[in-house]
A and B are shown apart, each in its own frame.
Chain A
Amino acid sequence: NAGVTQTPKFRILKIGQSMTLQCTQDMNHNYMYWYRQDPGMGLKLIYYSVGAGITDKGEVPNGYNVSRSTTEDFPLRLELAAPSQTSVYFCASSEGTVGSQYFGPGTRLTVT
């Protein structure tokens, strides 16, 4: 099992550009999450999904969109990138709401 995979590993965007961060899990987990981690800070939840076709906002959803058309995939879309979106983005999945989450290796995004 690959677990949770994320692409790309690194990306530099210019202000105003858009991009999609990809996330795939092969553990058949219903729950998937997107977090961002800024330097010296904990992880902040952007969006999460409890199953295909169902998504919900987390703590910091502004500037992002998500979709969940399959159990395996949970892409995160950035529209009109801003310098404030410079961060490391982590995707995670879990079997249920209580219990540990499995994280991907992260995508380091810089917006200049």
Chain B
Amino acid sequence: DQQVKQNSPSLSVQEGRISILNCDYTNSMFDYFLWYKKYPAEGPTFLISISSIKDKNEDGRFTVFLNKSAKHLSLHIVPSQPGDSAVYFCAAPSGNTPLVFGKGTRLSVIA
């Protein structure tokens, strides 16, 4: 049973517009969330994180929002650039498992 769900396998966005990637989780005990970005033929790289004591964390063009009551988080990228085209994974530490990952969302930013 998936504890971290990314229900959109893919997303296409025009360059300069906002990209919104969504992630839902089932375990209300999760208190820390991470987003990773992955380019083809490379390992994932850490992008941004958020603790459950916050509802927003911003780093340049990237902002993560956390809605604990809805068990939902989202990653906003503004403005989107072609170099942002990648697969984005949502992840959270879960009990004895260091990180549980969602299936990922492939973002394509079209110039």
The stretch that binds B, out of A12-20, A69-77, A78-86, A100-108, is A100-108
Residues of chain B contacted by A105 (CB below 8 angstroms): 41-43
Considering residues A40, A98, A102, which has the most beta carbons from chain B within 10 angstroms of its beta carbon? A98
Nearest-neighbour CB distance to chain A for B23, whole angstroms, equals 11
Interface residue? B57 (CB, 8 A) = no
User: What total of chain B residues lie within 8 Å of the partner, measured CB to CB?
Assistant: 23
Residues of chain A contacted by B44 (CB below 8 angstroms): 43, 90, 103
The stretch that binds A, out of B14-22, B66-74, B91-99, is B91-99
In the complex, are the beta carbons of A41 and B103 less than 8 A apart?
A: yes
In the complex, are the beta carbons of B42 and A106 less than 8 A apart?
A: yes
Residues of chain A contacted by B104 (CB below 8 angstroms): 42
Nearest-neighbour CB distance to chain B for A98, whole angstroms, equals 6
Closest chain B residue to A101 by CB distance?
Answer: B99
Closest chain A residue to B104 by CB distance?
Answer: A42
Q: Which of A44, A90, A97, A100 contacts B46 (CB 8 A)?
A: A100
In the complex, are the beta carbons of A101 and B103 less than 8 A apart?
A: no
Residue numbers of B with Cβ under 8 A of A are 4, 6, 9, 32, 34, 41-46, 49, 89, 93, 96-104
Q: List 16 A-B pairs, Cβ < 8 Å.
A: A31-B98, A42-B101, A42-B104, A43-B99, A44-B101, A45-B98, A45-B100, A90-B43, A98-B32, A100-B49, A101-B46, A101-B99, A102-B46, A103-B44, A105-B42, A106-B41
